[in-house]
Structure formats: structure tokens, C-alpha cells
Amino acid sequence: MKDYKRLYINGQWQIPQGAGQIVVVNPATEGVVGRVPQGAAADIDQAVDAARSALPSWSATSPQIRSGYLKQLHQELVARAPEIAALISDELGMPIKLSQRIQAGLPALVTNSYAELLETYDFSERIANSLVVKEPIGVVAAITPWNYPLHQLMIKVAAALAAGCTLIAKPSELAPLNAFVLAEIIDSCGLPPGVFNLVSGYGEVVGEALAAHPQVDMVSFTGSTQAGRRVSRLAAESIKRVALELGGKSAAVILDDANLETAVKATVNSCFLNSGQTCSAHTRMLVPESLYEHCARLTVEIAAKFQPGSPHDMTTRLGPLVSAEQRDRVVNYIRQGIAAGADLLLGGEESPPGLPLGFYVQPTVFGRVTADMVIAREEIFGPVLCIMPYKDEEDAIRIANDSVYGLAGGVWSENPERAERIARRMQTGQVDINGGRFNLKAPFGGYKQSGNGRELGSYGLEEFLQIKSIQF
């Protein structure tokens, strides 16, 4: 069991000002897997002071020096990947086979991508008689969620460090242990004191203290849309920059010329990845009315293979939800779907058989879901897929865009030009055509209430930069 009693501030493990510890529960066994300090606003003050003091020297370092530190971080993340994968499976419940590739693999890849970017990125350009320079925005608050905890943290940490910013990280209280492993790694790499600081705690205490702190120049937040609104309001008092990556209700549009089996399988995989706890999951499957029955049968056949089981079993494809509260929330949505008249094709509100412990939900598929139903409009964040029939292309685009969210989406067609035409009309920050692979160098972020700003690649780096124009 991981039992952390100190916070990482100003290059040292320090006794927290807050009282008590936060207990981290394994969602598969309901046993305790670790504890972290319950930080207080005074800890945030101390961490912000450290980051502010470290900013002048760190922001003046060359891109080559910053790249060197990121390469060290990458090497250590790779070396500790087996430990990180097992730890996040214990904290979160993602099946270990996926955790090895995603939860431990992606943070290392992201870190390396920024190390490489710094070798070619130009922080200045000439425009006529002006020199336009891109400078670090300053002290950054990185507030991260529990569903991809280290990946979401390293997206912010790597980009902020690459830009020359200093930062304070606040991980989710549901899966914070991996952030302490990161702090251990950063400490071993010799990053200058105060450049990276870690304060764990509850959102309403340390998260709000960070968002409101007058000496924090930027908040980079990933989480729910509701929490994003609160962060924005707190940050507005000091006019600090806010980057938000929030919720989603993404649509996969399957056209009538698509390879149905491939399209349905990929959509189910997207929806059920991480037990449905993925902001960019394709949770609405839009299918032609003429092909509805065929698609529904295929979906049930494929989804039924996602049997819940132990995260540490290499054959498990569907783990538990992160907490009892999250499980109850998802079950409530399933009940609302049934009450609204959607066809329950698979799963339901009952607990999966043979799993007396753990926060498990059955893989659930609803058919003939209409756009006015709650399950079609709100982010469920569980293994629940909605199949929505449409009449023609215009109807499909209308349904796909009929959402307050706009984070991701997909189009499936044997005609690439037709698929691109549909993709261009979808009001969302990212669209995959025929299962296009995730690209760590391409911008990720949303339209509408899915947030603002972008992460990853040069676009992600520029979120942490501010522009100065020098005229000659």
C-alpha cells in the first residue's frame, strides 16, 4: 500500500498544513490501496510562492535545457511503467492490459513528444518591422481528473515545462497515487526546486484555492463541465487564462456505405474503453434507419463480449467504475433510459453476476434512442451506448450536432470524400474517419461546452505561452 504523508513543494517533501489523509479505494475490491495528504489553502500558498520564486530562472532556461529534463522524465516514466500501470489499475480499475498501454504508455509518449518539439519550435518570428516573441505565461495550476490520471497530468506538466512555466499540480482525490510517483520521478531528475509542486486534496479546498489565487497566471483544468464553470468563475476575478477540457457526448455517424461490422465494433470499443469513463468516448451511435436492425444485432453481439471482471486479469475488457458514487450515477441514467422508453437491448441496472465486491455496471446498450432523452443529451460516463437511427445525411448531421457538447466524433464510410464532407460539418473538436488513429501531435479539445483551448503538440504548447510584439 502507498502511504504518502508529505506534499512535494519547492523541491522537498514537506509536512502538509492540512490535517488528515485521503483514503484511496480499489474500485474492484473496495479495499484501501493508499493514502495521500489532505492539503489545505495554506499548502497552496506555499506551493504558489515556490513556483513564483522559481519562475525567473526557469523561464530563462534554453529550450535545449528544458528538452533535456523532459527526456530524463521520459526515460524514468518508461522505466517505472510496469509499476505505474499496476498502480493505476488499483486506483481506477482499468484492466491491466489496457493500463499498460494507455495509462502508463501515453504519459511517456507525451513527455517525449514535447522534448522533441523543443528541438525545432521557434519561440520568435519576424513580421515586417516587428519581432514577435512567445514567452511563458508564468505560474500554472494544473488540475486533473481521475479517468486518465497520469496521462492528463503529463499533458499539462510536459507542455508547461516545455514553455518555461512553473506549476502546481492538483490531482483528483480518487486517483492521486500516480501523481506522487511522478513527483518522485521529477525529484530524482533534479528539476530545480519550485518548478514542479504537488498538492493533493479536495477540489472545493485546494482546487478552488488554486483557481482563485492571485499569483497563479493560468489554470489548466480537465474535468466535468460543471466543475469547469466553477473554475472559470473563480479565475475570472484575477483575469487569469483558463484552458478547459470538459465533457462530451460524441456521435459516431455510420453511413449506409460503411463496413458495418468494423464500424460497430470500433464504436463499441470507443464507448466501453475505461468502462465508459472517457470524455471523448463515442457514446451515440447514429445509424441509417434502413440498417437499424442489422446494426442493433451486431452491437449487442459485440457488446456482450465485454464481460466485467478483475482488472488484474489479462483477459478482462471491462473493469469497475471508479467509485460507488459513479456506479450509482450510471445506474440512475440506465433507469432514466428505461423510463423514457428506449429499447434496452443489453445489460441494465442490475449488478453483474459473480462479482459481490466492486463498483461494476453491466455493459448496456439502448436502441431507438431519441434526441430528447436524457441518456442522449447528458454525459453518462459509464459503459452505456445509445443507438440512434436517422433518415438521411442531413438528419444524421442534425442529430450529431444537437448537443451542448462538441469534443469528439466519428464518421464511417467507404467513400473518404463523403466521410470528410460529413466530418467538416460536425461541430466538434476532433473527428475520426474510419477509425483514424489518435495523434499525439494533433490538437485535442472541444467546441461549445466541451471547453476551450487545445492540448498536445504545438497547439498545446502555445496554451502556456503569451505573445509580445517588439517594434523596430
245 classed as catalytic? yes
The type of residue at 317 is R
189 classed as catalytic? no
What own/partner pairs with CB < 8 Å and gap ≥ 24 does 72-78 have? 72/189, 72/190, 73/111, 73/158, 73/185, 73/186, 73/189, 74/108, 74/111, 74/112, 74/115, 76/185, 76/188, 76/189, 77/104, 77/107, 77/108, 77/111, 77/154, 77/185, 78/108
Annotated catalytic residue: which of 76, 173, 245, 463?
A: 245
Q: How many CB atoms lie within 10 A of CB 344?
A: 14
Q: How many CB atoms lie within 10 A of CB 341?
A: 11
Q: Is the Cβ–Cβ distance between 92 and 27 less than 8 Å?
A: yes
Strands 432-433 and 409-412, by their bridges, are: parallel
Q: Is the Cβ–Cβ distance between 113 and 441 less than 8 Å?
A: yes
Annotated catalytic residue: which of 279, 379, 386, 455?
A: 279
**Residues with catalytic roles:** 245, 279
